Amino acid sequence: MKKILTVVVLFAALMTAVPAKAEVKFGVKGGLNVTSMRFDSSVADKSNQAGFFIGPTVKFTLPIVGLGIDAAALYDQRKSKVGGATDNEMSIKQQSIQIPINVRYDIGLGSKAGIYFFAGPQFGFNVGSKTIDSALADWTFKSSNISGNVGLGLMLLGHLQVSANYNFALGKTGEFSAKALPSALKEDAKLNAWQIGVAYFF
């Protein structure tokens, strides 16, 4: 709860700090996650799976040429499969609310198009199951986590935005306790994702 209040205060401070002359646009954003799971040490094979995200977004274009800020509140679902030394396979699904706050730099390609680059922190809060049990392993999600974004995108007609970015965990996403190994082993694990998104601003 304390971390949620911290993010709310941070977002309120961001809104207050935005200059009065800044252009503000609201919209909706959605897209796909292609998730990879990385362990602090190699204890199992892993494969990518697609998840998705969707939610409201807001974009601030600052008076400084090319500079802006965007933020969103996204329902985010990520999936990954883990296979161990046996034929057992474990499916992991994380459901969360993700709040990305990115600084962006836009480069105009004319009156109807432009490209932009962005980077910033992302704050996540787990809203799904916190524990997953299987014959292979036990998985426990953290209640909250922080990650980072870096990416680029294309803005069309002033309303439609297409983007691609890499979202990487800045701390552990959860704890993996292997069962199908010669001895019990606990490892911190992280869920990173390549993301492809589309947004429409009104």
pLDDT digits (tens, 9 = 90+) for 24-55: 999 999 999 988 766 654 444 455 667 999 99
Per-residue confidence (pLDDT) for residue 1, from 0 to 100:
54
**Domain locations in the chain?**
2-201
DSSP codes joined into one string, the chain: -HHHHHHHHHHHHHHHHS-TT-EEEEEEEEEEEEEEEEESS--SEEEEEEEEEEEEEEEEE-SSTTEEEEEE-EEEEEEEEEE-SSS-EEEEEEEEEEEEEEEEEEEESSSSEEEEEEEEEEEEEE-S-SEEE-SSEEEEE-SEEEEEEEEEEEEETTTEEEEEEEEEESS--EEEEESSSSS-EEEEEEEEEEEEEEEEE-
How do residues 111-139 score in pLDDT, each as one tens digit? Answer: 789 999 999 999 999 998 887 776 666 77
Residue 5 has pLDDT above 70, yes or no: no
CATH class of 2-201: mainly beta
Per-residue confidence (pLDDT) for residue 43, from 0 to 100:
47
How do residues 63-110 score in pLDDT, each as one tens digit? Answer: 888 899 999 999 999 887 665 544 556 677 889 999 999 999 999 887
| Model pTM score | 0.80
How do residues 10-25 score in pLDDT, each as one tens digit? Answer: 555 555 555 556 789 9
